[in-house]
Amino acid sequence: MSDIQAAGEIHYKPPGPIGKAFIKSDAFVAGIMGPIGSGKSVCCVMKLVRNLQKQKRQRDGWIRRRTAIVRNTYPELKTTTIKTWHQWIPPTYGNYRESGPPTHHIVDAAQKIDWEVIFIALDRPDDVRKLLSLELSDAWINEAREVPKAILDGLTGRVGRFPRREEGGCTDPQIMLDTNPPDSDHWWYRLAEEPTPEDIETNAELESKLREVGSLREDQNLFDWFRQPGGRSPNAENLNNLDPGYYLKACAGKKPEWIKVYVDGEYGFVMDGKVVYPEYSDNLHCRQFEANPRLLLHIGMDFGLTPAAVFAQRMPNGQWRKRSEVVTDRAGIIRFAGLIKKHLAEQYHGFKIGSITGDPAGNAAQGGDDEERDTFQILEAHGVKSVPAYTNAPTIRIEAVRNPMTQLIDGEPAMLVHPDCRVLRKGYMGGYHYKRMQIGGTEKYRDVPDKNIYSHVCDADQYLMIGAGEGKAIVKREPVANRPAFALSDYSTDF
């Protein structure tokens, strides 16, 4: 433990026994899931404070820590995550600047404390590149259900790098996560609730080896997952900080699925925000069918940290059939090319390709040891010859997908999607949506769909339709959405 002692000027009490156990966990990866209002985010703020309190002084007598705080979009980072942070650690402590990425640097020469906190939004590519190259002590992924697993995977190699070992080293490097309940298809569910036997065996072996080399203590786990009780449970947490009847009022006017997730803290899928494709009906558009080897195969691809692809055919009568998808947690462009080739060999052997179309942003140079090459050049070098979509205009892309949903051909929908396209269907049903925002008390929505785990495959779907010629007949019009001085000793923590 650090030699810094708490003085009691700012007192924090955990929301309940689960929140307290989460804060005290020294696991390399610690996650907490619970309903709205359960105090999860503040638990993470105080867990970071506790990590700073535990940090051993370096050889020069200073305590140093560097922390990354991650959210899926900059508006949410600014209006929610940073606001929660500043409720407990005001911007007047040290130096806070909003320029990209926002950074709170706290230096106290009297106590010899140097704490740098960097806020990262995943919708800013430059920030993401910085995140995956930073040398960190710890990291907090806020609202993890909106964040690709690729970010968690990338951070496992970034924490524990600061301070350097020769300077005294990092005490208990850690990645912490908080979230409202995601869908049961989400990576959180697999890790926290239903790890495979292989996962369990691998983690046990890793823990044993890490203890042998002194990287984990006997009482320290590699992963710890915590689940708070539902808001209507007798054991609900954080009730002392909520108005009486908070959860009953939250249920007013809500659908059962919303209540199940946000109030009762159960896993589930909730349509949040304004659905991009309200015309889609899973009962109507989702059917079993097989691809036809006599017809051309069209492929759409989205790139980035979590690339995705959709495979479809156009029937002779004009009907579109979306047969399969490739969705990744994390893959570089070379590995993605391999996944595409493997998928083609397994499901579409002997099929002729009509088009392979990708995100035109892939034309940006990727960099390399010998030369800079864009994504399409790299794909071609690894056996996937594709072209960029002729437009990246959201309205044209979205309408190219929407139009067939609204039409009938020979008594059938002009677009069918196979049950195997699980993530694409979830996107159609509302996972792919316009985020709600409040402007002057009026509820409006952003004019571009939110970036989340469903947006990548839905973007790939759009590039497929654009590449196959569907976008050329779309007349551009307005989008559907509306425009629209720090003292560590101040923190007395009742852990």
Q: Which domains does the chain have, with CATH numbers?
A: 10-241 (3.40.50.300), 275-472 (3.30.420.280)
Q: Whole-model pTM?
A: 0.75
More confident residue, 150 or 16: 16
Cis peptide bond N-terminal to 163, omega within 30: yes
Percent of the chain with pLDDT over 90: 76
pLDDT of residue 368: 44
pLDDT at 482 over 60: no
What is the per-residue pLDDT across 413-451, written as a single tens digit (0 to 9) for each?
999 999 999 999 999 998 999 988 766 556 678 889 998
What is the per-residue pLDDT across 312-365, written as a single tens digit (0 to 9) for each?
999 999 999 999 999 998 888 999 999 999 999 999 999 999 999 999 986 655
pLDDT at 163 over 70: yes
What is the per-residue pLDDT across 25-38, written as a single tens digit (0 to 9) for each?
999 999 999 999 99
Q: Which of 155, 3, 195 is nearest to 66 (CA)?
A: 155
pLDDT of residue 124: 82
Rounded to whole angstroms, how far apart are CA atoms 172 and 136? 12
Contacts 24+ apart (CB under 8 A), 237-241: 237/15, 237/16, 237/17, 237/18, 237/19, 237/34, 237/38, 237/39, 238/15, 238/16, 238/19, 238/37, 238/38, 238/39, 240/15, 241/15, 241/39
Count of beta carbons in the 10 Å neighbourhood of residue 56: 14
Contact predicate 245/251, CB 8 Å: no
3-state class of 59 per DSSP? Answer: coil
